[in-house]
Amino acid sequence: MDGGVGSGVFSHELGILDSHRLPDSCSFFQAEVFAACRTMHGRDSLGSIGIFVDSQAAILALNSYTTTSSLFEECKQELSRLSCLFVITLVWFSAHRDYYGNERADQLARRVTALDISSVESVGKPLGSIKSGILRHFLRKSEEKWRRLDTCRMARFLWPSYNEKRIMQLAALSRTDISRLLAVMTLDTG
């Protein structure tokens, strides 16, 4: 979503027009689960609940036995609570097929993406976002260290900048292949 992440819930039958600004670190996947959870929030007087979601991954996560997200856990608990009282159906449908309800929910979600981040809902940061942030931090540290290094003149001459892709390629080589590569790079044929 442009400039931010939002979640929208729409139900013509129930008169629901609901949208929430989510943290920029949220994924579309989390936005879908957040919307599903908000759909059920405070509902105690319905005979059945049908939740239409255009993310198969969100439905699979909600049906999973394990979870690594407080948002998913909250949604699963609400599903469990309501399933004792009502018939709940999670329905997947293909996105971008001009379903009126989905289009309205997407409009609601887009509308709140422009809101100031101070009005954001409290949603846990996705584990993947945390991992990639840690990786970026350590890559920056490694690059700084490589630039400041006074030793390894030949290696720094052959490899002037820190390159993660190159590191991964070299790490995948066998010791024999690395020895051959170094011999070619340093013209050591001995």
CB 52 within 8 A of CB 101: yes
Bridge partner list, 52: 91
For the chain, 190 residues long, give each residue's pLDDT as a single digit of tens: 456 778 787 877 777 777 878 777 777 777 777 777 777 666 666 567 777 777 787 778 777 888 777 777 877 887 787 778 778 777 777 766 777 877 787 777 778 777 766 655 566 666 666 777 888 888 888 888 877 888 877 777 767 777 778 778 888 888 898 888 878 877 765 5
Q: Cα–Cα distance between 116 and 113 in angstroms, integer?
A: 8
**Cα torsion at 20, 24, 168, 134 (round to 10°)?**
-110
5-125 domain in CATH 3.30.420.10? yes
For residue 183, what are its two tokens? 């011999």
Residues of the chain with CATH 3.30.420.10: 5-125
For residue 105, the tally of other CB atoms under 10 A from its CB is: 26
Name the token pair of 103.
Answer: 């289009």
Determine contact, residues 106/31, Cβ cutoff 8 Å: no
Give the chain's count of helices (H) and strands (E).
Answer: 8, 4
The answer to whether residues 18 and 108 touch, using CB atoms and an 8 Å cutoff, is yes
Count of other CB atoms within 10 angstroms of residue 181: 12
